[in-house]
């Protein structure tokens, strides 16, 4: 597939703090969109030598979360140029049982510094006759290691949980993980226990796992207490980060986004709704959020409802970024900027990649399904300019 790309440079001025504004360069990667499938879940990982692997997977437009095997774009020069899409030979649909099949989905690459390995974590999507299998549908946390010799991922493996009934349907889909100084990983997961399924509970829990990784095996060492709210589907798609000695979670919920703080990285405070520093709700709902750091500050990337994006499914575009105030657990309104602009398609299933202390990426694919009715009518997205492009917002931060 031929890839076309171009870059524009945007210097964002933060109100009242223009001298510390991040510099954002937008890179666009064309995907040769044809109308039956679109690429989604675009995320990337990078090794210290500038080798970057960007992953995405095809979604069939006439369906709900019907994904196919993982594909990759590769860069040898730190993301300046990219090759063409390559289909993974290992991250494919596989048999789950006699009737069902599964594929890794919602996955995110991650460079593990201590081992020098490029990991990927996600979860299983289980299908029956090319539709999401009906409940009780198990969900497993899946992971893999990139094999640079073969140029592909190893066959994905299921993370062995401490209690299979407690973690009956727990996945690490669309999450953001964290490497600790000793090489251990904090991997947030979300889902429901087998008892929850039997009692038809719809309130999903989020927990943080502490895992060891020796370059070959990923193992759970311990896990924290569950977090939830009494709103259908509870809390999910958690992202974790550390800042100034404390740990922070950003959590998706059907009605509003939540945040929580921890001293040990495993057990968190009661989640509170994400608000601006003036006390008003952020407008984020039913969509994941991810963290970035730069210039000595902590930032949150998110979507939210505004006056101009009612034509976007769940208001999932544009992608906003704002400075996060750790003491107040809120975002600072005057620092809010648009990191990836809206062109008629949703951008909510995105990823964040921390390059170093003063540089980061936001990666998002234009998801070409739209609002009901006729959610598969991609032409409604295209009339605003979208074409399933993959966007990389390359951010450089400066200190005061």
Query: What pLDDT was estimated at residue 8?
Result: 47
Query: What pLDDT was estimated at residue 5?
Result: 52
Structure tokens at 320: 């906003």
Q: How many CA atoms lie within 13 A of 47 on its CB side?
A: 16
Tell which residue, 153, 192, 196, has the closest CA to residue 171. Answer: 192
Query: What pLDDT was estimated at residue 2?
Result: 52
Structure tokens at 188: 């947030």
Distance of alpha carbon 228 from alpha carbon 345, whole angstroms: 30
DSSP-assigned beta bridge partners for residue 362: 352, 393
The full set of domain ranges for the chain reads 1-30+277-400
Give, in order, the Cα–Cα distances in Å from 393 to each of 6, 25, 293, 354, 390: 12, 6, 14, 12, 10
Return all residues near 44 (Cβ < 8 A) that are at least 6 apart: 52, 53, 54, 55, 79, 109, 351, 353, 361, 363, 392
**pTM (predicted TM-score):** 0.95
The b/e string for 113-145 (b: 16+ C-beta within 10 A; e otherwise) is eeeebbbbbbbbbbbeeeeebeeebbbbbbbbb
Query: What pLDDT was estimated at residue 244?
Result: 98
By 3-state DSSP, what share of the chain in percent is helix, strand and coil, each rounded to 5? Answer: 5, 45, 50
Query: What pLDDT was estimated at residue 9?
Result: 47
Rounded mean pLDDT for each run of 10 residues along the chain, 400 residues in total: 50 44 95 96 98 98 96 98 98 96 98 98 97 89 98 98 93 98 98 85 89 98 96 94 98 97 98 98 98 97 96 98 98 98 98 96 98 96 98 90
What backbone torsions phi and psi does residue 99 show, to the nearest 5 degrees? -115, -25
Tell which residue, 191, 103, 182, 180, has the closest CA to residue 144. Answer: 103
Scanning the structure block, which residue is given the tokens 């057990």? 267
Tell which residue, 295, 293, 291, has the closest CA to residue 274. Answer: 291
The b/e string for 245-278 (b: 16+ C-beta within 10 A; e otherwise) is eebbbbbbbeebbbbbbbeebbebeebebbbbbe
Query: What pLDDT was estimated at residue 4?
Result: 55
Distance of alpha carbon 183 from alpha carbon 178, whole angstroms: 9
Query: What pLDDT was estimated at residue 101?
Result: 97
């Amino acid at each position: 597939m031929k890839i076309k790309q171009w870059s524009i440079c945007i210097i964002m001025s933060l109100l009242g703090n223009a001298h510390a504004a991040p510099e954002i360069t937008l890179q666009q990667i064309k995907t040769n969109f044809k109308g039956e499938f679109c690429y989604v879940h675009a995320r990337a990982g990078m090794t210290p030598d500038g080798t970057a692997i960007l992953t995405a997977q095809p979604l069939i437009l006439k369906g709900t979360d019907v994904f196919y095997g993982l594909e990759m774009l590769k860069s040898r020069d730190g993301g300046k140029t990219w090759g063409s899409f390559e289909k993974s030979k290992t991250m494919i649909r596989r048999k789950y049982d006699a009737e069902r099949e599964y594929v890794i989905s919602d996955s995110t690459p991650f460079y593990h510094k201590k081992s020098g390995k490029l990991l990927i974590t996600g979860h299983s999507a289980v299908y029956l006759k090319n539709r999401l299998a009906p409940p009780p549908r198990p969900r497993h946390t899946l992971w893999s290691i990139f094999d640079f010799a073969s140029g592909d991922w190893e066959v994905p493996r299921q993370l062995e949980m401490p209690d299979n009934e407690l973690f009956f349907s727990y996945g690490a889909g669309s999450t953001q993980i964290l490497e600790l100084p000793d090489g251990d990983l904090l991997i947030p997961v979300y889902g429901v226990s087998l008892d929850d399924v039997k009692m038809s509970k719809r309130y999903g829990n989020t927990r943080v796992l502490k895992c060891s990784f020796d370059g070959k095996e990923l193992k759970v060492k311990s896990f924290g207490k569950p977090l939830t709210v009494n709103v259908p589907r509870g809390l999910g798609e958690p992202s974790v980060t550390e800042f100034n000695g404390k740990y922070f979670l950003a959590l998706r919920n059907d009605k509003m986004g939540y945040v929580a703080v921890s001293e040990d990285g495993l057990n968190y405070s009661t989640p509170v709704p994400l608000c601006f520093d003036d006390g008003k709700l952020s407008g984020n709902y039913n969509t994941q959020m991810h963290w970035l750091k730069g210039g000595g500050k902590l930032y949150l990337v998110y979507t939210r409802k505004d006056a101009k994006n009612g034509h976007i499914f769940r208001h999932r575009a544009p992608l906003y970024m704002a400075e996060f105030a750790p003491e107040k657990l809120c975002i600072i309104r005057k620092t809010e900027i648009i990191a990836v602009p809206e062109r008629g398609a949703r951008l909510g299933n995105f990823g964040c990649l921390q390059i170093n202390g003063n540089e980061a990426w936001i990666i998002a694919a234009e998801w070409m399904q739209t609002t009901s009715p006729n959610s598969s009518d991609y032409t409604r997205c295209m009339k605003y300019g979208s074409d399933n492009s993959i966007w990389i917002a390359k951010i450089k931060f400066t200190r005061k």
